[in-house]
Structure 1
Amino acid sequence: MTNIELALGPVFFNWPNEKLLDFYARIADESDIERVYVGEVVCGKRMPFSDKVYPQIIERLQAAGKTVVVSTLALPVTVRDRKSIDALSDWDGLVEVNDFSGVAARKGQRFVAGPFMNIYNEGAAQTLARMGMEGVCPPVELPLSSVEVIAKALPEIEMELFAFGRLPLAVSARCYHARAHKLHKDNCQFICDQDPDGMDVTTLDDQNFLAVNGIQTLSNTVHATTLTQSEIEKKHIKRLRLSPHSVDMVSVAKTFRALATGRIDSAECEAQLTSLPLPGQLANGYTKGKPGHLWVAD
C-alpha cells in the first residue's frame, strides 16, 4: 500500500451543467479519488451558470467520502469576480487559491495554493505557509528537481503534483475563443462550449502548437507524470493531480492508482493512457527540465 493520494483538479472547460452533474456523479460513485477540486477557475462569465449546480455536486461528493476543495478564479477582472473570491472567506472547508487576492480573502484561514499562483521556490512557499498555506500544486513548468527542493524545505506542506492533462500555461484578459470566431469578448456567446477539451491551435505550417479555452492557453499535448511509487515517495510528493477531460477519467484514475501503488510500472502506465482517446499526444518534458511538448521515457 502507499500514502500517495489522487486528486481531481477543477474542470477548466465550459461544460454544460448536465455534463458536470453526470461527470461528478461518476467520480463520486466509481472512483477512489480522495480529493476533488470544484469551481470555475478560468472565466467568471461562466459562473452564473455552473454555480447553480456546484452545491449539489459538492453534496454528492462529500456523501461519497471525498474531500472537496473549492477553487478560485485565476484571473479576476470584474467586481463580480472579486466578490466571488471574497465570498470564500466564509467557506468552512478548504479553498484552493489561484490568485493572490484569495490569500487576503481567507484572512489567515488555511488554503491550498494552485498552479496559477506561480510558486517557483522554497522562499515563496515559506512566505505563503506563514499566511495559512497547507498545500501547494506547483506551476506545471517547474521541473521535478525544483519540486523536490521545495518539498524538502517545507516537509509540513503537502506537495501535490500536476500529473495528467493538458497543461494550464497562461490566462489573459483577451478571449481567444471569441476572437477566433470573430466575436467580441463581451458578446462571446459562450462559444468555448463547442470545444470540451479546448480548441486546437496549429502553426502556419499546420503543426500542432497549443490549445485555447476561452481566455486560457493550454498545451496541445497531454501531460503525464509516470513516476513509479518509489520515485514519487522519494521526491516527497503527497498527491497526484489529474485534470478533467472528456476522456474516461475513472479509467485514468484507475491507471494512476495502479501506478501509485506499484501494481504497474511507468511503461504500462504510458501504454494504458495512450490506449485512451486523449485530445493530444502524451508529453512530460517539463518535469525532466526539457521543453514541455516532449516525451522523455522514464
Structure 2
Amino acid sequence: MDAQLTLGPNLFHWAPERKLDFYRRIADESPVGTVYLGEVVCSKRTPFFDDRHLEEVAERLTRAGKQVVYSSLAEVVIKRERKLLMEWSQQQGRDLEVNNTAALLHLKDRPHRIGALLNVYNEDTMAYLAGRGATHFSLLAELPKPAVAGLAEAARGLGVGVEVQVFGRASLALSARCYHARAHGRIKDSCQFVCGEDDDGMVLSTLDEKPFLAVNGIQTLSYGYLEMMAEMHEMRDMGVSHFRVMPHSCDMIEVTKAFDDVLQGRIEAAEGAARLGALGIAAPFVNGFYHGVPGDTLVPA
C-alpha cells in the first residue's frame, strides 16, 4: 500500500517569525504530504501565530501541494477555550483533527480525524469514533506493536486511515496546571510565556541529575526522541498508512528527507539513522514503547 509522511502540529512556543520561516521551508523543501497546523497545547499562545499567520501558512502549504489539516486544542477548560473550540469546529470545507472529545459535540458526525492527544487504545473505541464520522486515527506514541497491529487491522475493516509517530519527543501527559511556569516561580495566568525560552521543551532531570522528561507548558514529553525508521516498513505491512514526524528545532528538512528516503525504499534504515545522528540532536533516540520495553530504550534494528 502507498504510505505517506506527515508533519504533526508544532507543540512549542516559537517566535512567530521563526514559525513562518519554518513552514515556508516545509512548503518549499520538505517531502511531507500532509501538514497539521494549529495550537494544540495552550490557548494563551494562539494570538501570537494562529490569529495572525495561520491562513497565510496554510495557503503557502496548499500551493506547494501539501494537504493541510487543522488540529484542535488538546485541553479545554475555561470559557475562552470552549469558544475557540467551537470556532474551530465551524470551519467548513477543512480537514479537522480532534484532540479533545469536547470537539465531537460540535462536529455532529462531520468527517474528521482523531489526533494522537485523544486516547484511542482499542478497536471498540476506534469503531465507535468511526461511526461518528472519524476517517483517520493518529495513534498514541506509547502503544506497543501488538496494539498497533490490532488497531491497523480494525482500521482496514472500517475503511479509515492509521497514523503513527516515528520521530520526535512523545507526548505523555497533559495537566490543567502549567509546570513550566511553576518551575520559574510563576503561575499559569501570569506565566509571561516562559515556555518560549525552551525550543524543544524544558528538560526535567531526576535527583541524580539524569535527564528524564521534558516539559512544554502544561504538557509532559519524553526526553528522548522517537526514531522508528527501521519499524516503518513493518508497520506499513500491518496497514499503517501515514507516518508522523514532529517539529523540533533541529534541521527538519533533513529529518523529513531521511525518513521519506527510508519509507520509499531509496535507502536502508541504517543509512537514514546515520543521517539523523549527524544532526547533533542532544537527546537520545528511543523506540522502547513499540517493542514492549521501557519507553526510554532504543531497541537495535
Is the structural similarity TM-score above 0.5? Answer: yes
Paired with 1:229 and 1:183, the residues of 2 have a C-alpha distance of 42
Paired with 1:81 and 1:177, the residues of 2 have a C-alpha distance of 20
Counterpart of 1:53 in structure 2 is 53
**What TM-score comes out, normalization by structure 2 length?**
0.96
How many residues are aligned here? 297
Counterpart of 2:161 in structure 1 is 158
Paired with 2:6 and 2:105, the residues of 1 have a C-alpha distance of 25
Root-mean-square deviation (Å): 1.2
Percent of counterpart pairs with the same letter?
43
**What TM-score comes out, normalization by structure 1 length?**
0.97
Counterpart of 1:145 in structure 2 is 146
Higher alpha-carbon deviation: 270-279 or 49-58: 270-279
Counterpart of 2:104 in structure 1 is 103
Counterpart of 1:204 in structure 2 is 207
Higher alpha-carbon deviation: 191-200 or 81-90: 81-90
Counterpart of 2:120 in structure 1 is 119
Q: Kindly tell me: are residues 66 and 27 of structure 1, through their superposed partners in 2, closer, same or farther at Cα, counting changes over 3 Å?
A: same
Q: Deviations over 1:235-294 (max 9, x none)?
A: 111010000001111100111111101122222222211111224110000011111100
Say if 1:221 and 1:279, in contact at 8 Å, map to a contact too.
Answer: no
Paired with 2:234 and 2:252, the residues of 1 have a C-alpha distance of 24
Q: Deviations over 1:127-186 (max 9, x none)?
A: 000001000011111012211111112211101011100001111011111111111111
Counterpart of 1:249 in structure 2 is 252
Residue 290 of structure 1: SS of its match in structure 2? coil
1:236 aligns with 2:239: yes
Residue 31 of structure 2: SS of its match in structure 1? coil
Paired with 2:119 and 2:233, the residues of 1 have a C-alpha distance of 27
Amino acid at match of 2:33: E
Residue 228 of structure 1: how far off its partner (Å): 5.5
Paired with 1:69 and 1:282, the residues of 2 have a C-alpha distance of 27
Residue 240 of structure 2: SS of its match in structure 1? coil
Q: Kindly tell me: are residues 287 and 258 of structure 1, through their superposed partners in 2, closer, same or farther at Cα, counting changes over 3 Å?
A: same
Say if 1:222 and 1:279, in contact at 8 Å, map to a contact too.
Answer: no
Residue 221 of structure 1: SS of its match in structure 2? strand
Residue 231 of structure 1: how far off its partner (Å): 1.6
Paired with 2:73 and 2:295, the residues of 1 have a C-alpha distance of 24
Gaps of 5+ in 1: none
1:251-290 matches, within 5 Å, as: 251-290=254-293
Higher alpha-carbon deviation: 229-238 or 278-287: 229-238
Say if 2:155 and 2:162, in contact at 8 Å, map to a contact too.
Answer: no
